[in-house]
């Protein structure tokens, strides 16, 4: 009996630790990260060397945010160039971690979306709110299996009917 109660308690405790289903319906529109700080391009810093800060994706491992990213990937027409991850006019997004030209870390992909890249990637900064960019980052990373597996495959929260 005591073992059962203990098991139930462990299960309940595990639930509170589960971030997979958290839904932040009212994201803060305020800027949380300064673009340039997301991924630094120089090792040299004034005032002595610091280790490079790692800016993680705020939505890592959250199924809802990844699903929202997937919706926005369609809405903002990422598929127009990258297709559904296989690439077309733009490069594929399903690839190994070392194949990302500008880096596969969340901060790198964030920068790529916000600032754009030469040869065709538009700069989306100012047009897509930052919290949504982070959602797209999470989704794009999930395409290559870079997001924690327990948060993918995503559930389709808005099943877009293809016309």
Partner 1 sequence: MTPFQSALDPGARQAASIAWLWWGFLALLATIFVVVIATALWTLTRRHRGINQEPLERVHSPSTATEASLTRWVGGATIVTVVLIFGLIVSSVLTGKAISKPVSKQPALTIELVGNQWWWYVRYLDRDPTQVVVTANEIHIPVGRPVLIRGTSHDVIHSFWVPNLNGKRDLIPSRVGEEWIEAEKPGRYRGQCAEFCGLQHAHMALWVIAEPNADFEKWKQAQLQPAPEPTDPHLARGQQVFLSNGCVMCHSIQGTPAFGQVAPDLTHFGSRMTIAAGTLPNSRGNLGGWISDPQSIKPGNHMATIALPAEDLQPLIDYLESLK
- Would you tell me which residues interact with partner 1 (CB under 8 A)? 23, 25-31, 71, 75-76, 126-129, 131-132, 158-163
* CA geometry: angle 40, 38, 82, nearest 5 deg: 105
Minimum Å distance from CB 139 to partner 1? 15
Phi-psi category of residue 120: left, alpha or beta, with phi > 0 → left and psi -120 to 50 → alpha: left
Nearer to partner 1, 72 or 94 (CB): 72
- Smallest separation, CB 68 to partner 1 (Å): 9
Secondary structure tally for the chain: helices H, strands E: 6, 0
CB burial string 31-67: b at 16+ within 10 A, e below: eeeeeeebbeeeeeeeeeeeeeeebebbbbbbbbbbb
Which residue, 105 or 112, has its beta carbon nearer to partner 1?
Answer: 112
Token readout for 7 is 């098991």
Of the two residues 121 and 128, which places its CB atom closer to partner 1 in the complex? 128
Least distance (Å) between residue 93 CB and partner 1: 20
* Closer CB to partner 1, 96 or 127, in the complex: 127
Question: Which of these, 28, 18, 31, lies nearest to 63 by C-alpha position?
Answer: 18
Least CB distance from residue 102 to partner 1, whole Å?
23
């Amino acid at each position: 009996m005591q073992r059962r109660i203990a098991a139930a308690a462990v299960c309940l405790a595990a639930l509170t630790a589960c971030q997979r289903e958290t839904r932040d319906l009212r994201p803060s529109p305020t800027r949380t990260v300064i673009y340039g700080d997301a991924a630094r391009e120089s090792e040299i810093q004034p005032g002595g060397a610091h280790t490079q800060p790692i800016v993680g994706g705020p939505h890592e491992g959250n199924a809802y945010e990844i699903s929202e990213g997937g919706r926005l990937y369609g809405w903002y027409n990422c598929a127009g160039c990258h297709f559904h991850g296989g690439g077309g006019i733009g490069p594929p997004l399903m690839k190994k971690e070392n194949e990302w030209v500008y880096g596969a870390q969340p901060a790198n992909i964030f920068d790529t979306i916000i600032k754009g890249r030469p040869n065709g990637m538009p700069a989306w900064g100012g047009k897509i709110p930052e919290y949504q960019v982070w959602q797209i980052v999470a989704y794009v990373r999930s395409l290559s299996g870079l997001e924690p597996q327990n948060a993918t495959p995503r559930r389709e929260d808005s099943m877009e009917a293809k016309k």
